[in-house]
Amino acid sequence: MTRFTQRRIAIVLGTRPEIIKLAPLIKELGDEAYVVHTGQHYDEELSGQLFPQLGIPAPDVVLSGIGGQARWTQIASAIEALAEEFSRSRPDVVVVQGDTNTVSAGAQAANYAGIPVVHVEAGLRSDDRSMPEEINRLVTGVLADIHCAATTHNERRLHAEGVPASRIAVTGNTIVEATRWALDQPAALPAGLPDSGYVLATIHRPENTDTAEALTRILAQLNEIALPVVFVAHPRTRAAIDRFDLAALTEDMTILPSTTHTEFLQLAQRSTILVSDSGGIQEECTVLKKPLLVPRRSTERPESVTAGFSRILGPEDSISEAAIALLADPALSERLATIPSPYGDGTASARIAGICRHLAEDPGWRTER
């Protein structure tokens, strides 16, 4: 049942990273918010468990017929379903986060319904239009009324695209408080894992899992690192390992089919090196103070690289050689521990909630300044 309050702020989400990053904002808004889940990734492994784990209510609305569809079907169906929901419920503000199909659909549906759009984590750009996420960012960037940029780098990108300064707020990233919160929670870690001194890896992006050549290269290079490897295998990756008959390359690894967000972060905290193509982990490593190797051709989060936490490795680069270089640096851990996260001080959700409240009460409060 939808909660009705004086201010009605719709939080639109559809994937695991969105739930994790929007949880602090949902808590901050309390009963002023209602949550619409598009169903893009609505299953127990990727989404269903997260709401109680993160201490937030179940979604007020869960759409159907969107998960598991082709990208164009997901976006088209979600726009239609969200437009109908917004027509019925008439929120004062719609919040979207990041760069998923849900974000693109949510921004479009709200804009077409005449409802102000707040884009959380605005201004990320990889400059790689082959990435579906980049197109979603660009579409949402055109439609958003207020852009909540996590960093000044994101702010500069928005300025370069012609977004007025009055419509940009540098808020920090909610991932900082989400990570700190998770590290303080109890977690039952899987038995039989090393206490420390291992590589924690997770790979899921199409550029790394859609061909046998790419996935073989990554798995083989992980095996060359002179540390135990704990591999959290995303459903997409497990399917690719089976499809390409690569199970033999994982025999010496500890394979975890899934973890909760809290379990993953606590595993990461105990690790020596992280290897991941995840955008979120590029941010989380700056709170964990852990080195991260990123097997990707490009990144929309250069702040993590500039700060010294992560390194981008293209297909021509060796994960194992990069890991050896990290292990040969005896001062690395102490140095990273002293570097502040470029993604803020852990108060982003309060800033974003304030923006949503102001916009709900006066849609022109910022653009008229």
Beta bridge partners of 122: 149
**Rounded Cα gap, residues 303 and 286, in angstroms:** 10
3-state secondary structure 37-77: ECCCCCCHHHHHCHHHHCCCCCCCEECCCCCCCCHHHHHHH
- Residue 204 annotated as catalytic: yes
Q: Burial level of 184, CB count in 10 A (0-12/13-18/19+)?
A: exposed
Q: Which two tokens stand for residue 168?
A: 């940009």
Query: What residues contact 6, with CB distance under 8 A and at least 6 apart?
Result: 32
Nearest to 352 by CA among 97, 34, 51: 97
Nearest to 369 by CA among 351, 352, 355: 355
**Rounded Cα gap, residues 95 and 86, in angstroms:** 12
Phi, psi (rounded to 5 degrees) for 230: -105, 115
**Rounded Cα gap, residues 29 and 360, in angstroms:** 12
Q: Which two tokens stand for residue 333?
A: 């851990």
DSSP assignment letter at 14: -
Which residue in 204, 234, 261, 358 is the catalytic one? 204
**Range 46-51 contact pairs with CB under 8 angstroms and sequence separation of 24 or more:** 46/15, 46/16, 46/235, 47/15, 47/16, 47/19, 49/260, 50/16, 50/19, 50/20, 50/23, 50/260, 50/261, 51/19
CA angle at residue 349 from 344 to 355, to 5 degrees? 110
Q: Catalogue the active-site residues.
A: 204
